[in-house]
Chains A and B, each alone.
Chain A
Amino acid sequence: MARPRIEVLDKNEVLEIHWRTLSVLSRVGVKVDHAEALKLLHSIGAEVDFNRKIAKIPEHIVKEALAKTPSSIRLYHRDGKQFIELMRWSTYFDVGSAGLYYIDWRTGEVRRALTRDLAEVARVTNALPNIHLMSTALVPSDVPDIIADRWRMYVDLKNCTKPIDTGAFTLEGIPDAVKIMASILGEDNVSKKPIMMFAACPSSPLMWSDLTTQNLMDCAKYRVPVHIVSAPQTSATSPATIAGTNVQVNAEILAGLVIAQFTRPGTPVIYGVSPTVFDQRYGTACLGSIEVGLMCATFTQLARFYGIPSAGYIMVSDAKTADSQASLESAFGALIAVLSGTNIAIGAGMLLEENGISLVKLVIDNDIAGLALRFGRGVLVDVETLAEKIIEEVGPGGLFLKYKHSREWWRKEHFLPTLLDKKTTDMWKKSGSKDLTTVAKEYVEKILKEHVVEPLPPDIEKALDNTMLEIAKRYGIEKLPQV
């Protein structure tokens, strides 16, 4: 079966971007605002200016780091049994991450997110078959900022069984996250069966900050999956051209890869991007632009060229509410991700300048993801699907419906969306003439009313609660919201 695929760059173009990247890394270098990392880079042969904190990394080190990097990653559900496998052309869909605002599906009101909002997002995600990862989608404002990063992980784990895309915004974030993971699957499984992946974001152009470098090195030390996410803005923090942005971002990611692999060889790294188009008319960083699709597709090609799992923020829309724009931008993104073979397509449910989560959009995105995945499966051609026998049997003017072949293959061949309307006009009118947004809202309500998340075993839940309480206590925080 010829799987439908797109490759935007040809082989020579990929090589050209690779060579230019190596040239930038060795001639321009990257700024690393982290003393230990600079020392490390120096020790392995990089040319380091400790005053300017610039490290120029020679080609051979980059190649060595690439050779140490695993080519596949398994991310586990919290039961330690089910997993998703990041490799080759497989695509998994992920909720958009770290929004400050919740777009309340009941009222449409946009407000600072609370713990119970994140719990809602997690429960709905748990019920959606085409959304495979839960992110720490919202930053709850009802806990002190200092523990908000770990609190998000805790809320997710209590309300969703799927692998978690998260990150730390404190220096203690990763070591504490490791404790949280250990309370679920035991210390031995923290790196053997990781249930979370952690974002570490370089700052374009060509910088690694103190905090993110620390997070990166911590992930390497504990050997847990690190998701490097570079987020350039074309024409502002990266060249206006896509190829130029490819070169610069690739350099940022490979610099991180070098730090991770020389901190500890074999660290699982996800080659991630959140490229934006800087819209000079409004001064906005746009994620729904079609060029973002081109960038995600080309970065995915680079990741595959290196044999590293890939991720891209490709389903975020620039719309401010779950309207037609929200669906169409995410639909292009989902299809591009699947056809390019981006391993993690991120951004389901996300709107509002990458800062708000809408459950209405999330459930629509579940259908969009399903459609894209179905297209990606392509067309199965064999004796049975060619169906010559059945065509002969039915004959001219006959009806296929009653045959077993039709019953069996209709199910197998087609994706049936949950929300998209396929009824007759009359049936649609009789069921209330509802548009997609209304149907989606009702579906959210139904999930929250009916869906039961498999509870954690009592002893594990207790261990998790204790770990979180100890973290909070360390900061003198006694009162926490109900989860």
Chain B
Amino acid sequence: MGKMSVKEELIKRLKEAVVSGDPEEVSKIARKIIEAGIDPLEAVEKALVAGVLELGDMWVRGEAFIADVVAAADAMKAGLSILKNDIAKKGKSVKYLGRIVIGTVEGDIHDIGKSIVATLWEASGFEVIDLGVDVSPQRFVEAIKSYNPDVVGMSALLTTSMLKQKETIEAIKQAGLRDKVKIVIGGAPTTEEWAREIGADGWAPDAFSAVGLVKRLLGIKG
């Protein structure tokens, strides 16, 4: 084996910076990658996305903590914002696996779980539109109309607000949009049974499972 090429070297370092959750280092290397004329799409896939996914695997194995994953995803975003410009300049665009709208349901202002899921979906190659917290059924319906997403995700941390997930699905049905989207739910009090009961398409017990869940629902391999 010969010496590592400049490209391989930079992509390797970019991935390492993502894994260690260092946004400054990621930005620095991302600029170098542009200067070196390396294909930015390849850098996104092989370093940014791969780095976050590697950390996800480490979390599953108990070798990393959630804060490490979130930091990696944050570092990934820093890199993406720089590389995106270069991708656009070259007349290309980032190819997303799909578009997801996410929010915490009405009456619930819990942000953490929803944000982690959103971050991991982004990190796995989805385009995510985060509606924030305390999102009414009507706002979910409007978001489906204006963004035309493949998936809608609803989070609830309270047993009381959990009921809003049901109400939101009803509202989506009444608006005649139910067949246009897959609906997934999550949050501490929710269960697989609850998801079935309210007519959601899927449920995940934790953020990483949520990645696999939407991939399955959209028929994406890996």
Contacts and interface: CB of A to CB of B under 8 A. Distances in A.
A404 B205 CA distance: 26
A424 interface: yes
User: How many interface residues does chain A have, given as a range?
Assistant: 10 to 19
A407 B65 contact: yes
A427 B206 CA distance: 9
A397 B111 contact: yes
A402 interface: yes
B188 A406 contact: no
Interface stretch (B66-74, B154-162, B175-183, B210-218): B66-74
B116 interface: yes
B74 A402 contact: yes
Contact of B67 (A397, A401, A427, A430): A401
Contacts of B188: 424
B79 interface: no
B111 A407 contact: no
A410 B66 CA distance: 10
B205 A427 contact: yes
Interface string A408-441: 0011000000000000101100100000000000
Given A406-B67, A407-B68, A411-B65, A399 B74 contact: no
B116 A401 contact: yes
A401 B70 contact: yes
User: How many interface residues does chain B have, given as a range?
Assistant: 10 to 19
B205 A402 contact: no
A407 B67 contact: yes
A430 B192 CA distance: 12
Contacts of B191: 426
B71 A404 contact: yes
Interface in B169-203: 188, 191-192
Contact of A407 (B21, B115, B192, B206): B21
| Majority secondary structure of chain B interface residues (helix, strand, loop or mixed) | helix
B129 to A, nearest CB: 18
B115 A426 contact: no
Contacts of A411: 65
B67 A402 contact: yes
Contact of A402 (B70, B111, B192): B70
Interface string B51-69: 0000000000000011110
Interface in B66-108: 66-68, 70-71, 73-74
Interface string A215-252: 00000000000000000000000000000000000000
B58 to A, nearest CB: 13
B36 interface: no
Nearest to A405: B67
A403 B22 CA distance: 10
Contacts of B71: 401-404, 407
Nearest to A406: B67
B220 interface: no
**Best-surrounded residue of B67, B112, B115 (most CB of chain A within 10 A):** B67
Given A399-B111, A399-B115, A401-B70, A424 B205 contact: yes
Contacts of A399: 70, 111-112, 115
A129 to B, nearest CB: 16
A450 to B, nearest CB: 15
A399 B67 CA distance: 10
A399 B205 CA distance: 21
A401 B188 CA distance: 18
Given A407-B67, A424-B188, A401 B112 contact: yes
Contacts of B68: 407
A473 to B, nearest CB: 50
B85 to A, nearest CB: 23
Contacts of A407: 21, 65, 67-68, 71
A401 B67 CA distance: 5
Given A399-B111, A401-B70, A424-B188, 15 more contacts: A397-B111, A399-B70, A401-B71, A402-B74, A403-B67, A404-B21, A404-B71, A406-B67, A407-B21, A407-B67, A407-B71, A410-B67, A411-B65, A426-B192, A426-B205
29 contacts: A399-B70, A399-B112, A399-B115, A401-B66, A401-B67, A401-B112, A401-B116, A402-B21, A402-B67, A402-B70, A402-B71, A402-B73, A402-B74, A403-B71, A404-B21, A404-B71, A406-B67, A407-B21, A407-B65, A407-B67, A407-B68, A410-B67, A424-B205, A424-B206, A426-B191, A426-B192, A426-B205, A427-B205, A430-B205
Those 5 A-B pairs whose CB atoms lie nearest each other, nearest first: A426-B205, A401-B70, A407-B67, A402-B74, A402-B70
